[in-house]
Chain A
């Protein structure tokens, strides 16, 4: 045993894990601390921050100064946050509705084909998200892939005005994060004992009842994980909202991006990010509690 190694087993274990602590520190903790600190500073009009402490960024979330320099409640930003939640929930539900059958279908395939289908699901990840979102402009846009045939067939006269709407944003978000829903659901469905489906049908359950009473409850962990994995990036997304929403109807992600670029208000951007982070952390804590309760109820194995 080399002499320079710490003597006690616990310090040696700590040393062995040190690389991962360093990675977590550099890539996760330090950037987050910087964001936290920035959110309590004053903006520098030329970009960056001034080293002057201030709560202005957080005040700005809820209030603005009127003409007489009085603080009045400003629902503008809160509305954007609310809209972001709505759209993200919509996209998450759409992902679930589309992703669950896809994952179920893959599970039903012969084992040697499943990996190929999973590979197909992940292929879009290999192309830049920006380019893939532009493709949706061609699909949804005026005289695009959907409109043109309908117009030529005389089914519609005018444009459907699908672009630059909440619907377009939701579709774009759904498309972007669908694989993040399919993969965890597939992972939990793959472990499902299909003999339980036979048992259910033997006990007079039709296909729908079997799905509701047996399949879905048993793959709930995968569904919840998929929903979290989709919801979190959706709420911070800015590519789909900017390109498909036209940048007029802001989402939280676009707002943050705007603060760090054109608006040059880094502290406010950082404060918005902290708000986002706390929303995510709160929802994860709820999930962890629910999971723990379920584990207790079902008895750990």
Chain B
């Protein structure tokens, strides 16, 4: 049985309540985060994910609802009384202290014996591979090194939950990708629950055990990365995570496995029947680009004309005009000689399995 680390119960947050600038940042959000889990809050900016993190940390006060940390109510405690630590977006390292002093700060406040503090500082600094730089000041470190110090500082007091507020957003791409793996590994090694806030869906998919997709102060969907990617519950989730083709249409027939939809004026598409659909429903179909196979014009059922190509190195994104006002985006790899397989205005075959085409309720 899994232990619940954080239980968010109907939490609302309104900024500037009662004034004409009142902003509802969170609207009765409920979710549970399990112990020893890498949990990600994912959403566009302004969706309330950072607000939720700051409510857990205690930097903001809830307008309504409860926050339980291992069955203890914490929403009215000061940040300094909550056994959670935060890795801040811009690190917020103390510039007047050395790396080691920064890392020791929390332990000193907890009145740990000096010998234990020294040992812990050394241990966490080597955990983040910064052992040699303990005497440096933050402004003598690169962004990536500062990031590691911020991590070490937050991990040192052994928090029950580690909160990470877009910690990788200020790093360059290569470093960000390396840090993803390191963070995930760090979470496994320490066994501490990580609550990770990001707007980067790739980051979320790569690291998380579970993801909560948020928008407009509400949780849209909670699930494992594959769930979220393959079975989004609504158009927002499908659109926010990865690239997607959307087709709006009306169901014209339903059988056990498949539904048939009319899209545009006369094009018929078959899609997987996810249940509860009946003839005449207005629905949105979605199809991930990588589920589409493009090939030279042959006798496939569907053909289209290449309208646009975006070259991405390891692959190219093709926009294919299917006629009837329908465009599909698909991917193709460059050939072995490095040239792209199709050129603009080529007529090509477009294949996909009907099971890959899914129905979203409108």
A contact residues vs B (CB 8 Å cutoff): 193, 195-196, 198-206, 209, 213-214, 217-218, 297-299, 301
Contact = CB atoms under 8 A, between A and B. Distances in A.
A9 to B, nearest CB: 34
A214 B81 CA distance: 18
25 contacts: A195-B90, A196-B94, A198-B57, A198-B79, A198-B92, A199-B86, A199-B88, A199-B93, A200-B105, A201-B59, A202-B57, A202-B79, A202-B84, A202-B85, A202-B86, A204-B80, A204-B110, A204-B157, A213-B105, A218-B96, A297-B137, A298-B96, A299-B139, A299-B140, A301-B139
- In the A-B complex, list the 3 residue pairs whose CB atoms are closest, starting with the nearest: A203-B106, A204-B109, A199-B92
A171 B272 CA distance: 85
B139 A201 contact: no
B31 to A, nearest CB: 22
B181 interface: no
B88 A195 contact: yes
Contacts of B288: none
B95 A218 contact: yes
A299 B59 contact: no
Given A198-B79, A199-B94, A204 B88 contact: no
A205 B96 CA distance: 16
Interface residues of B, number: 28
Nearest to B83: A204
B161 to A, nearest CB: 12
A209 B80 CA distance: 11
Nearest to A196: B92
B121 to A, nearest CB: 13
A196 B93 CA distance: 7
B78 A201 contact: yes
Nearest to A214: B94
B148 interface: no
Nearest to A220: B96
A203 B90 contact: no
B131 to A, nearest CB: 20
Residue of A195, A204, A217 with highest tally of chain B CB at under 10 A: A204
Nearest to B84: A202
B153 interface: yes
Contacts of B139: 298-299, 301
Interface string B271-305: 00000000000000000000000000000000000
Contacts of A205: 80, 105, 109
A195 B96 contact: no
Given A298-B139, A301-B139, A206 B80 contact: yes
Nearest to A197: B92
Nearest to B92: A199
B96 A217 contact: yes
Contacts of B153: 203
B191 to A, nearest CB: 21
Contacts of B84: 202
Interface in B126-144: 136-137, 139-140
A203 B96 contact: no
Given A195-B92, A198-B92, A203 B78 contact: no
B109 A209 contact: yes
Contact of B95 (A204, A213, A298): A298
B96 A204 contact: no
Contacts of A214: 94
Nearest to A195: B92
B79 A201 contact: yes
Nearest to A199: B92
Interface in B89-120: 90, 92-96, 105-106, 109-110
Contact of B105 (A203, A299, A301): A203
Contact of B137 (A195, A209, A218, A299): A299
Contacts of A298: 95-96, 137, 139
Contacts of A206: 78, 80
A108 to B, nearest CB: 15
Contacts of B78: 201, 206
A185 to B, nearest CB: 16
A218 B139 CA distance: 14
Residue of B84, B86, B90, B92 with highest tally of chain A CB at under 10 A: B92
A298 to B, nearest CB: 5
Nearest to A209: B109
Contacts of B137: 297-299
A84 to B, nearest CB: 34
B85 A203 contact: yes
B166 to A, nearest CB: 13
Contacts of B59: 198, 201-202
Contacts of B157: 203-204
Contacts of A301: 139
B76 to A, nearest CB: 15
B164 to A, nearest CB: 12
A201 B92 contact: no
Nearest to B96: A217
Interface in B210-245: none
Nearest to A206: B80
Contact of A201 (B80, B90, B93, B96): B80
A301 B137 CA distance: 11
A203 B92 CA distance: 12
Nearest to B59: A198
A166 to B, nearest CB: 36
Given A193-B92, A202-B154, A217-B96, 7 more contacts: A196-B92, A198-B86, A198-B88, A199-B94, A202-B79, A297-B137, A298-B137
Contacts of A201: 58-59, 78-80
B88 to A, nearest CB: 6
A204 B106 contact: yes
Contacts of A297: 137
Contacts of A195: 88, 90, 92
A213 B102 CA distance: 11
